[in-house]
Structure 1
């Protein structure tokens, strides 16, 4: 009996303390934490885009060298020209002898080879790019092995004989850093080296001078390189204050997130910064927290006192009275008269009152003053009603906490900088998708350029090699002028639209089905003087899983890629192909970008009220240039405001949590009291009334070893005494307690 009541009071007081700690801990800082977190995530997204570009370029250099059709008569000069002349991004190239490190051929801008060890080509793993910052603008050196047939004849030989010259070379190409993009009006993005020196800078719109002043670059570089190489480290910083605005910066390592990668040893850090208005703290929840906690503490004490005076104390008195009657029933008459002469006090109400009245009737029957007594079937409210009232009392405190108090306004709860950051991240997500599709188109164009003039078998080999090299493709196929497939490698095409487009780019080749079919396409040029090619357009269907995998980002929420009719083509969450966006507000937001085919479009954002609360949503056109610019596609994001550290939303969440905890604790403890006290009391009340009504056959078995179990054992002794007296009366002997009954009493 005592544990449920004590637990109810103690746990409700604990919830009251947590209410003070939780709600009072919500503070509205001049620069909200959500703004700092948003800048950190923008820096991390920008770093990921830069990392992806470097990884893709390193893979392209290695793949080009691996696919080079070297022969035993290939010279370093012709090999270098073949490997670098077709790629506009290459500033200069060099071929080195792997064994001696001797420069065999060079072209274009001078390649800074200081510190380059050609023997690194002896292994089988990929050679990571290197950053060179001395002697001019920063450059990246990419490496690849070029193996010629003579080396392939004896691959296990690790040294060279005078009669067999070295036939493995090291290709080194130099390129500038990938283009850095800054998103969001007034934002500056920088690429820093290990010392904090800016290697590249991009500015979107008009950036405030305060955004680039101070020691933020050095601080960011120190923080990044102090966090370790094996972590995808990022963070935020606060800079100088100018007027009522303060610089907010975010930094992130340009390093692989899934183990060793091409960018791990470069030591690059991305720093993004912009100025945000320094707001004055307007929200103080300390008074509300104290008032809510005080109200709950009052409820806890009120319930504890009510249960003590209405349940605990009456039950203890009933327990003593039942024991006294049992002793009197088991003793000889002179002693029994003293125990049975005192009436049983009736305490409380409901079941305890019923048991008290029935016990007093049994007392009189033991004294021979009365016979069996019937009790009315209709009774007043019992202790179950008390438990329900207790839950309702706690609910009167919890319901306003959950549904009414500290409600965050849908629009004003989200600060303008947080909304702008969500829009910026939607633009960066759009850039990642565009980057992936542009690479797919570039790779397909390179494959299409190698098809003219070749036999069908040679074309098949080229397509199979391209499919193996580029995992984003699920199928490659050639179309003739009527749209029929003349050659295919990979999975069965998903296309349902039969068309032969001009030029090249990205398109969809179905409008229904379980899987959206997005494809890159490029023209296959005819060779003069030869028979026209069997295929005129090369299509590469892109695996939509490859697009889905690059959409998720921390704290970005759900991300969808939609076509010009706002039908979903790819998403970071589960979806059906070509379904509409899950909310009409998102559809309106996508249309508001005004990114009709042929137009640039602008990103936009808004706060929408959904069934789960405010949602910070943004939409951006997929591309403003390149092969995807004509599509009119959008990238739409939706992040629940509850996931952001916004003071108003945090106060609402913690208020609701306190209400839910209080209601759960009250219901659990009162339910516990109902199971261990109230329900057994109801059963005992029925049994004792039957016993007082003359039922001497039903044996009373105690179920629990507590106060109610003791009352049940006392009732069983009384039943035995009454049953023995009835048998004695029928046989003509005087009534008195039997030896067995006395023994049971002594054992008790």
Structure 2
């Protein structure tokens, strides 16, 4: 009996302490943590974009070198020209002998080859990672690739009597660092080297002078170095301020997220910074926390006192009285008279009062003062009513905490910088999707240029090779002018739209079904006099999982890619193909981001309320140029306000948590008390009233080993004593009758 009562009081007091500690720790800061966190994520998203660009460029250089086919007797100069002519990003190139490191040819600006060991670089397997070097006072990225010439490709200077052998050269390409795409007015983005020197700087709109904080790059570089060079760590900083606008900054390393990658070892760090308005409204929840905790502590102590006076003490007295009557019923002589002479006090109400009155009746029956006594049906409140009252008292404190108090007004509690940062992250997400689709189109265009003039078997081999190399495609196929598939490799196409488009780009090839079919397409140039496969357009259906994987980012919330009709094509979470956005407000936001396909569009953001709660939402057009510009697609994001580290939201969450804990603990302890005390008392009250009413046959079995069980055992002893006396009285009745007959009757 004591454990649930004591535990109820202790748990409610613990909730009161947690309320003081949790809510007392919530206070407004000059820069809310949500602003710092979102700036950190913007830096991480920007670093991901830089990492993707470097990885793509490194793979492009390698793929170009692998696809190079020597014709005739190639020279190093002609080979270098063929390998670098198509890439406009190349600033300079060099071709080295893989064994000796001798410079064979160079072109464009001078390539810094200091520290480049060709033999060591080409000795291993896999791709050679890029390097960051200084050339003519500028920082450049060097990309490397192995160029293998077949044994038949010999130049004019080679000894004709010498047996041709396969040769390997090392291609070195010098390029500038990737240009940064910055989103969010007033934001500055920089790429730093390991020493904290800014290599690339770009701004969006007019950046505040405070953003150019000279201490931020060094601080970010040191923080990145402390986290390890080959990790994708990120963080946030607070810089100097101009007036009431402090500078917030985020940094992130440009390193591979998993395993060794092309950007490991470069030591590049992305730093983004922006001046934001400081929070001026103070928020202090200490007084509310003390008031709420004091009220709960008072309720806890009151409940402990009530349960002690109305349950614990009366039950203990009843336990002692039942034990005393059991001893009196089983003993003889003066001890019996002493134990049974004292009346049984009736304490409490409900079941305990019923048991006390029945015990008093049993005491008089044991003394022979009265016979069995019938008890009326119970009336009035019992201990279940007490349990309901206690629960209502706890709920009276908990329910307002859960549903009423400290409700965050998200329309005013979400700072404007957080909404703006969500919009910037939506634009970054759209940029990632655009990069992925543009790269898919570029890869498909390269495949399309290799197909003209080849027979069907050669084209099939090329398509299979491309499907193996480019994992984003699920199916590659050629269409003739009627739209029929003439050649296919990979999975069965999902297309339901039969059309032969002009030019090249990205499009959808179905409008319904379980999986959206997004495809890149490119024209296959016709060759005069060649009879290859009758295909004019090459389609590559993109696995939608490739797009889905680019959308999920930490603390960005749910992300959707929609078509011009706001139907979902890809998402960061489970979705149904071509379904509408989950909320009408999101649909309106998406339509506001781009009015018609082919228009530039404008990113937008706001705070919306829905059935699942308020959220910070943003929408951005997918692209303003390139193969995806005319699609009219959008990227829509929704981050729940509950996930933001805002004082008002934190206060609401912790207030609700305190209410939930208080209600849960109160219900659990009262449930425990009902199971071990209140419900057994009802059973014992019914049994003892039957016993006092003359039922000597029903055996009383103790169920629990506690106070109620002890009372039941005592009642069983009393029942046995009363039953034995009843049998003794019945056996004595014939003898008494015999003694009362007249003597002459006995003689006759």
Give TM-score scaled by structure 1 length: 0.95
Q: Deviations over 1:134-160 (max 9, x none)?
A: 4232211111122233499xxxxxxxx
What are the ranges of 5 or more consecutive residues in structure 1 without an aligned counterpart? Answer: 153-161, 735-748
Structure 1 residue 67 displacement after superposition: 2.5
Between the aligned partners of 2:290 and 2:56, the Cα distance in structure 1 is 57
Residue 298 (structure 2) aligns with: 298
Alignment partners' CA distance in 2, 1:590 and 1:480: 37
Does 1:328 find its partner at 2:328?
yes
Tell me whether 1:455 sits opposite 2:443 in the alignment: no
Summarize the Cα distance change of 1:15–1:72 in structure 2 as closer, same or farther, 3 Å threshold: farther
Q: How is 1:407-422 mapped onto 2 (pairs within 5 angstroms)?
A: 407-422=407-422
- The separation in 2 between residues aligned to 1:243 and 1:573, in whole angstroms, is 42
Match of 2:672 in 1: 672
Q: What do the CA deviations read for 1:478-527 (whole angstroms, capped 9, x no partner)?
A: 11111111111111111111111111111111101111011111111222
CA contact (8 A) 1:595 1:602 kept: no
SS of match in other structure, 1:21 = helix
Unaligned runs of 5+ in 2: 154-161, 735-748
Aligned to 1:129: 130
- Preserved CA contact (<8 Å) 2:47 2:252: yes
Q: What CA distance in whole angstroms lies between the structure 1 residues aligned with 2:614 and 2:667? A: 30
Map of 1:67 onto structure 2: 67
Q: Identify the residue that residue 104 of structure 1 maps to in structure 2.
A: 104
1:639 counterpart SS class: strand
Helix, strand or coil: the match of 1:11? Answer: helix
Identify the residue that residue 349 of structure 2 maps to in structure 1: 349
How far off is 1:166 after superposition? 6.6
1:444 is aligned to: 444
1:181 match: secondary structure:
coil
Any idea what the Cα deviations from partners look like across 1:315-345, whole Å, max 9, x if unmatched?
0000110011011111113221111111100
1:682 is aligned to 682
Partner of 2:605: 605
Could you say if the C-alpha distance between residues 521 and 139 of structure 1 is closer, same or farther in structure 2, counting changes exceeding 3 Å? same
Q: Secondary structure of the equivalent of 1:708?
A: helix
Partner of 2:745: none
- Matched residues in 1 for 2:345 and 2:102: separation? 111
Q: Which residue of 1 aligns with 2:279?
A: 279
C-alpha contact (below 8 Å) 2:27/2:282 kept by paired residues: no
- Equivalences for residues 373-392 of structure 1 within 5 A: 373-392=373-392
Deviations 1:141-190 (A, max 9, x none): 111122233499xxxxxxxxx97767222221111112211100110000
CA distance in 2, matches of 1:11, 1:400: 19
Are 1:139 and 2:144 an aligned pair? no
Deviates further, 316-325 or 607-616: 607-616
Q: In structure 2, what is the equivalent of residue 50 of structure 1?
A: 50
Q: Does 615-624 or 705-714 show the bigger shift?
A: 705-714
Which residue of 2 is the match for residue 249 of structure 1? 249
In the alignment, what sits opposite 1:570?
570
- Residue 457 (structure 1) shift: 1.7
**Number of aligned residues:** 725
| Structure 1 equivalent of residue 159 of structure 2 | none
Write out per-residue CA displacement over residues 391-417 of structure 1, whole angstroms, 9 at most, x where no aligned residue.
111000011101111111131011110
- SS of residue in 2 equivalent to 1:412: helix
The alpha-carbon deviation at position 92 of structure 1 amounts to 1.8
- Give the distance between the partners of 2:218 and 2:369, measured in 1 at CA: 99
RMSD: 1.7
CA distance in 1, matches of 2:460, 2:446: 15
In the TM superposition, residue 447 of structure 1 has moved relative to its aligned partner by 1.2
Contact 1:569 1:577 in 2 (8 A): yes
Q: Distance in 1 between matches of 2:280 and 2:389?
A: 45
Q: CA deviation at 1:79?
A: 2.6
The answer for the alignment partner of 2:402 in structure 1 is 402
Q: Hey, what does 1:157 align to over in structure 2?
A: none
State the distance in 2 between where 1:575 and 1:19 align.
39
1:359 aligns with 2:356: no
Quote how far apart the aligned CAs of 1:250 are: 0.4
Name 2:314's counterpart in structure 1.
314
659-668 or 119-128, which deviates more: 119-128
> Which residue in the other structure is 2:149 paired with?
148
Distance in 1 (CA, whole Å) between partners of 2:657 and 2:632 is 43
State the partner residue of 2:527. Answer: 527
Which residue of the partner structure matches residue 223 of structure 2? 223
CA–CA separation in structure 2 for the residues paired with 1:104 and 1:682: 101
Aligned-residue offset at 1:307: 0.2
Deviations 1:423-476 (A, max 9, x none): 000000000000001111111111111222222222222211211111111111
Q: Is the 8 A contact 2:112 2:134 kept in 1?
A: no
2:36 equivalent in structure 1: 36
- The answer to whether the 8 Å contact 2:148/2:166 transfers is no
**Secondary structure at 2:132 match in 1:** strand
Report the counterpart of residue 259 of structure 1 in structure 2.
259
Secondary structure at the counterpart of residue 674 of structure 2: helix
Question: Are the counterparts in 2 of residues 296 and 397 from structure 1 also a CA contact under 8 Å?
Answer: yes
Contact 2:314 2:347 in 1 (8 A): yes
Summarize the alignment of residues 87-98 of structure 1 with structure 2, pairs less than 5 Å apart.
Answer: 87-98=87-98
Report the Cα distance in structure 1 between the residues aligned to 2:365 and 2:447, rounded to whole angstroms: 106
- Residue matched to 2:156: none
Answer yes or no: is the 8 Å Cα contact 2:150–2:166 preserved in 1: no
Alignment correspondent of 1:742: none
Deviations 1:657-689 (A, max 9, x none): 110000001000111101111111111111111
Classify the secondary structure of the residue corresponding to 2:227. coil
Structure 2 contact 402–656 (Cα < 8 Å) conserved: yes
Using the alignment, how far apart are the partners of 2:456 and 2:15 within structure 1?
Answer: 76
Report what 1:22 is aligned to: 22
CA offset at residue 532 of structure 1?
8.2
- Look up the match of 2:9: 9
Instruction: Check the 8 A contact 1:72/1:149 in 2, yes or no.
Output: no
Residue 510 of structure 2 corresponds to residue 506 of structure 1: no
Give SS of 2:90's match: coil
For 2:152 and 2:692, locate their aligned partners in 1 and report how far apart those are by CA, in whole Å.
107
Q: CA deviation at 1:612?
A: 2.9
Specify whether residues 499 and 441 from structure 1 end up closer, same or farther in structure 2 by C-alpha distance, changes over 3 A only: same
The superposition leaves residues 562-604 of structure 1 with CA deviations (integer Å, 9 ceiling, x where unpaired) of: 0000000000010011000000010000011134112100000
The CA deviation at 1:278 is 1.2
Match of 1:554 in 2: 554
Say which SS state the counterpart of residue 681 (structure 1) adopts: helix
Query: 1:29, 1:281 within 8 Å by CA — same for their partners in 2?
Result: no
Distance in 1, Cα, partners of 2:72 & 2:267: 40
Q: CA contact under 8 A between 1:151 and 1:168: conserved in structure 2?
A: no
2:152–2:164 contact (8 Å) kept in structure 1: no
8 Å contact 1:97–1:166 — kept in the other structure? Answer: no
- Secondary structure at 1:489 match in 2: strand
Q: Which moved more, 1:247-256 or 1:442-451?
A: 442-451
Equivalent position SS for 1:107: strand
- 2:411 aligned counterpart, secondary structure: coil
1:126 deviates by 1.9
Deviation at 1:125, TM superposition (A): 2.5
2-structure distance, mates of 1:528, 1:87: 27
* Counterpart-to-counterpart distance in 1, 2:93 and 2:479: 37
Partner of 1:235: helix, strand, or coil? strand
Moved more, 359-368 or 482-491: 482-491
Residue pairs, 1:489-504, within 5 angstroms: 489-504=489-504
Aligned equivalents of 2:532, 2:690: Cα separation in 1: 106
Summarize deviations over 1:91-144 as a string: whole Å, max 9, x none.
Answer: 222222222111122222222111111122111132111011342322111111
Aligned position for 1:116: 116
